[in-house]
Chain A
Amino acid sequence: MALNLLADISPWRPSHSPGLNIRSELFAALIGAILVIPQGITFAYLAGLPPEYGIYTAIFVTLFASLFGTSSMLGGPNTAVAILIGIAVAPFAGRGSPLYIEYVLLLSFMVGLIQLTIWLLRGGRFFMYLSPAAITGITTGVGFILILSSLDGIFGLSSSDTHFFYHKLYFLFDDAENLVNPFSFTVGAITVVAGMIARHYITRYAILIAITVGYLCGLILMSFHSQVEMELELLGHLPINPLPVSHPPMGTDYLITGLAMLPDALIIALIGLAQSMVIVKQLRNDTDQPIQPDKEVFAQGIANLMAPFFSSFAGSGSFNRTQVNQSMHAETPLTGIVSAGIVLVLILLLGPVLTYLPMPAISGTLMLVGIGMIKTDEIKRLFNWRGELAVFTTTLFCIVFLGLQTGLVVALILSVLLFVISASSLELIVEREAVSVKIRVEGHLFYASIDQLSQILKKHRRENVILDLSVVTYLDLSATEAIAKELAKRNNESTFFAVKLSSERLQNQFEARMAGQPVQFIQYNHTY
């Protein structure tokens, strides 16, 4: 056990990945670094922090997650996590104020601690229960939230806090000439259109192209009008410090707030891990990387725990960047480690140019990310099965109308419910044969599903019954007891009751329970 834990916390070394192709790793790292800069800035904006904190997150969370990870998954700032941080901390302090930043660091530290606890409890495997329908629901909901929050920047509204999204749309249409800033709208709309066109031709770099077009559009506008008269919001200087040492605040006052943020920290920790685990699951299926899921849980936990010591906020694995990474044939964590360094170099070089990046262009990319998160073909596929569709629509409805946190909890509960319901429903095939009734059971026989079988048995109490349990792999105590009870009520003189089981182990277990009951066994290897 202790040895296992030690193996988990050892950092990655090139010798761990024998098939290391340095050139493709480095190229993937460069592309990853270019992609993460606009995302870091936007996600910092979503989390309510100054943009440099997003850059620090892109550097340090990526670095630690890859250093201790085993896969080519790229960590760093994440949409859902950033939104949740913003929602969680907003009630306690004004967005972007020093107190707010301290709370974000505290929250990230708590998230890291919770994730490490999950790692110690070996909880990583439980994330496999999150159903694909719920995940589609969550990503669609987050995409919807992203699109709506990008409207603020694109139309030049000051961040409006409305109860429901349609309030915002109503205000927007009702008072357009007073609210909408035409210059912001021009830049934002051109960015979105450019991104949509680019997506058709070069999907991978669509965001990069969109933000470049938005930037150039801003420059053209700025050569005709001054920023003061346009009131066009610009990114501003990024005071980047290569080693932004900080620490999470400690003290009794912060403890109180920390306790109040605990439910949020728990949700963020779970959602961060869930996303990372889904990515890990995909990578394990698609590639030959030597991935250890538990080690990935540790890597996420330690990355978030270290984040507040380097002015970063919590993050998680990133779907879109990992996908790009995979398409560049990056196979090892080296990509993430190098990418962190490249981000730092790039941002120090690009700093003065990025100052004049219009915020509507960033909001435009946010909208593009949001649109990209709503995957219509995945949603269409859900229409084939009612249960999954119900989980999807409920999750989406809850996220859109009751908030992201509520939606996530509902998604988690629904996934487990769906699993329980599908596990507890039995397939019962009743066939009438010459002298007997054959009841073939498919599914798990346990306390939740036994009732269905009991009803059928009750109906055929006066007939000869062959109970075929040959495809039942799980049979619990209460199920055997229920069958025994049913046997006791049967008319034993004139009918017989035979059971067919799948293995010797189950048969022994069954026989022990049925001692003294008039039951016959059909051998499990007997071909019927």
Chain B
Amino acid sequence: MIDWLIRLFFDNYPYSLKKLFKLRSWLPLLLLPLSTAGPVQSEQLPIENLLQRSYLDDYYSNVVYGYRIVTETEKYGARYTGNSLRCSNCHLNAGRKEYGLPLNVAGMYPKWRSKNGRRNGIGLRIRECFVYSMNGIMPPEDAPEVMAVAAYISYLSHGETIGEAPAGRGVPTLPDTGYDPNPASGKAIYDQKCAACHGPNGQGIAHMPPLWGMNAYNEGAGMAGVHRAAGFIWANMPLGQERTLSHQQALDVAAYINMQIRPGDPREYKLLKLFETISWFFDR
């Protein structure tokens, strides 16, 4: 009896009372005539439709937030980023392009990665992007930014098979050309084909990302690996004329880009990040 009373007052009472006031219990009923999209719908709305809505529920507002972080990182993800790149600079078309590092990979996580020698959830994967590719600081597990990007990734993964790599995942692995990457010939190709958008010193121009310098990805990023970068360049660059470079040309350009100066790997240069940030601030 006493046990029952305690449970009534301390477990159920605050809940049942709260439920009366909380919107969750009756919001779906009220929203039925107002919105046509509920979470029960099997067809997924394209993100462009979601963007035009004046009101979104918790899930879709988070998806849209994730989309905005991916496409306007400098505005929506600024808290944890340290350079002027956007997620969508590498995850092309906001993570929806095959072989352009697409983001429809939610079904593949958790998985073991050699990078940190741990089994990674999608959350840790996203957080590491902030540290290396965005040259920022590691957000906490429950940071709103991480949850939003995770929601966007699951949204994009709609329809993919869980546990299998989606078609066009990552970047293509280039076959062995038999020659070492040659940065000198890479520079010639860079000046001819890349410099128009990325600048002669790799500093980028408006809406085009920098490739090196203190505003680019750091040495711990996936792109800092020559073979990964070469696959990306071959499959996606120059923008609009993809797959026009030969495999060897892509390797050369990747080697040239990745031998330039860029922020250090935060795992190796510890306090350096602070000085980088401060000097970057005063140089601005």
Contacts and interface: CB of A to CB of B under 8 A. Distances in A.
B277 A91 contact: no
B82 to A, nearest CB: 7
Give 4 nearest A-B pairs by CB, closest first: A96-B144, A253-B55, A99-B61, A236-B79
Interface string B87-114: 0000000000000000000000000000
Interface string A238-260: 11000000000001111011001
Contact of B148 (A97, A227, A237, A253): A97
Interface string B139-150: 111111101100
B80 A356 contact: no
B2 interface: no
Interface residues of A, number: 50
Contact of A222 (B14, B64, B271): B271
Interface string A249-291: 0011110110010010000000000000000000000000000
Contact of B270 (A92, A159, A223): A223
Given A251-B55, A352-B278, A222 B270 contact: yes
B-side interface mostly: helix
Given A96-B144, A223-B270, A228 B138 contact: yes
A224 interface: yes
21 contacts: A91-B23, A92-B58, A94-B62, A94-B147, A95-B144, A98-B68, A99-B56, A100-B144, A219-B271, A222-B274, A226-B266, A226-B270, A228-B128, A228-B138, A231-B138, A236-B80, A237-B82, A260-B23, A352-B277, A352-B281, A356-B274
Contacts of B79: 50-51, 236-239
A237 B140 contact: no
Contacts of A164: 10
Contacts of A163: 10-11
A234 interface: yes
Interface in A342-359: 351-353, 355-356, 359
A410 B34 CA distance: 38
Given A100-B144, A352-B280, 5 more contacts: A94-B62, A97-B58, A163-B11, A222-B271, A253-B31
Given A251-B54, A352-B278, A94 B21 contact: no
Interface of A: 50-51, 91-100, 158-159, 163-164, 219, 222-229, 231, 233-234, 236-239, 251-254, 256-257, 260, 263, 351-353, 355-356, 359, 401-403, 406
Nearest to B128: A228
B207 interface: no
Contacts of A229: 267
A452 to B, nearest CB: 35
Contact of A97 (B22, B61, B138, B281): B61
A51 B139 CA distance: 14
B147 A158 contact: no
Contacts of B14: 402-403, 406
A88 to B, nearest CB: 10
B273 to A, nearest CB: 8
A96 B147 CA distance: 10
A256 B64 contact: no
A141 to B, nearest CB: 16
B86 to A, nearest CB: 15
B34 A93 contact: no
B22 A260 contact: yes
Which of B27, B75, B138, B141 neighbours the largest number of chain A CB atoms within 10 Å of its CB?
A: B138
A219 B79 CA distance: 19
Given A97-B65, A219-B274, A253-B54, A227 B27 contact: no
A91 B24 contact: yes
Which of B79, B80, B139, B145 neighbours the largest number of chain A CB atoms within 10 Å of its CB?
A: B79
Contact of B30 (A91, A219, A256, A351): A256
Contact of B144 (A97, A223, A225, A355): A97
